[in-house]
Amino acid sequence: MTTTNTVQVNQPASQADGRPPGQSSAQGGHDGPATSLRTSKNAGRRPLRKSLQRDWQLYALAIVPLIFLAIFRYAPMLGNVIAFRRFRPGGNIFGDEWVGLRYVSMFINDPTFWHVFSNTVILGALTLVVCFPLPILLALLLNEVRKKAFKRLVQSISYLPHFLSIVIIVGMVMQLLSVQGTANQIITAFGGDAIPFLQRAEWFRAIYVGSEVWQTVGWGTILYLAALTTVDSSLYEAAEIDGANRWSQIWHVTLPGIRPTMMTLLILNIGTFLNVGFEKVLLLYNPLTYSTADVISTYLYRVGLVSNNLSYAAAIGLFQALIGLVMVLSANFISRRVVGASLW
């Protein structure tokens, strides 16, 4: 009796489940890995019609945003063709003379373009270097505050400038820094001479970056505060047991925990690196500050809309967009290879 039981246990699997010898489960059975994989793939494919019937409310909600993107984002891309044609206002963008890369060579050989391009790079770099880390720092500081009333007060004060329009922001800057403004009143009260901040080119970049910090830092803090809530609290406990102080916990636990959020926002900021705020620059600058304040967007405004040289402006705009695309792709590739976090 004992021998019989032992033989039954030691039988091959193909005989124990009723299959003839030599026939594997993947060939003759229904539980092979290849069959299971095909079954799971087929089960995961839902026909489009069933998906529309099941989630038609969600698809209906997506119609308006898709129409908006199609009309105001994708359709205008067709206008880039005038960068390669001699276009005149009122004419057909596809019917004028084809000039190829004529306008591209024009702005490449134009010293004015490279001057505004360098201004754009410098202003964009200053904005990125200053405005990117400050929301992280403010979020870390607020995360350490234990009094909720004080924390909410600081958050409200820092968030408020984000909801003000560019015109109001620039108006407040002018009231503060004009010759008769608050800053000069304080300077003259201590016996100094009034400084025309808004008329001096060397002050423009500091004024622009400072206004960007005041307007955007509080809003950027929201994303990092949300990311801080996802950090596992047990990691802090383990670090504390190991003898790590608060600074070491921030450096080795908190910052690695919010690294994906940091890299995502960094890549997005790099994508808009050359798109320095057109409205703010246009309202702040004047002919006396062109040497440091004139950027690609304001140069395009004067060349395209004021001088009606739309083809030349389109060529410069297309060049700017291509540089932005290359920078986003490069930043995403480097982030994926070095840090392990990326947008795609």
Q: What's the pTM?
A: 0.76
The residue among 281, 272, 273, 324 whose CA lies nearest residue 300 is 281
89: helix, coil or strand? coil
Distance between CA atoms of residues 214 and 141, nearest Å: 17
Distance between CA atoms of residues 24 and 34, nearest Å: 12
Cβ–Cβ contacts within 10 Å for residue 281, how many? 23
Cβ–Cβ contacts within 10 Å for residue 149, how many? 8
The residue among 216, 231, 234 whose CA lies nearest residue 166 is 216
Q: What is the pLDDT along the chain (344 residues), one digit of tens a residue?
A: 444 444 344 444 444 444 444 444 444 444 444 444 454 444 445 677 888 888 889 889 999 999 999 999 898 888 888 888 888 877 777 767 888 888 888 888 989 999 999 999 999 999 999 999 999 999 999 998 888 899 999 989 999 999 999 999 999 999 999 999 999 999 999 999 999 999 999 999 999 999 999 999 998 899 999 999 999 889 988 988 988 888 999 999 999 999 988 988 888 888 888 888 889 999 999 999 999 999 999 999 999 888 888 889 999 989 988 988 898 888 888 888 877 777 77
Q: Are 217 and 134 in contact (CB under 8 A)?
A: yes
- What is the reported pLDDT for 95? 66
Domain ranges across the chain: 23-47, 101-338
Domain 101-338 bears CATH identifier 3.30.930.10: no
Buried b (16+ CB within 10 A) or exposed e, 190-229: eeeeeeebbeeeebbbebbbebbbbbbbbebbebbbebbe
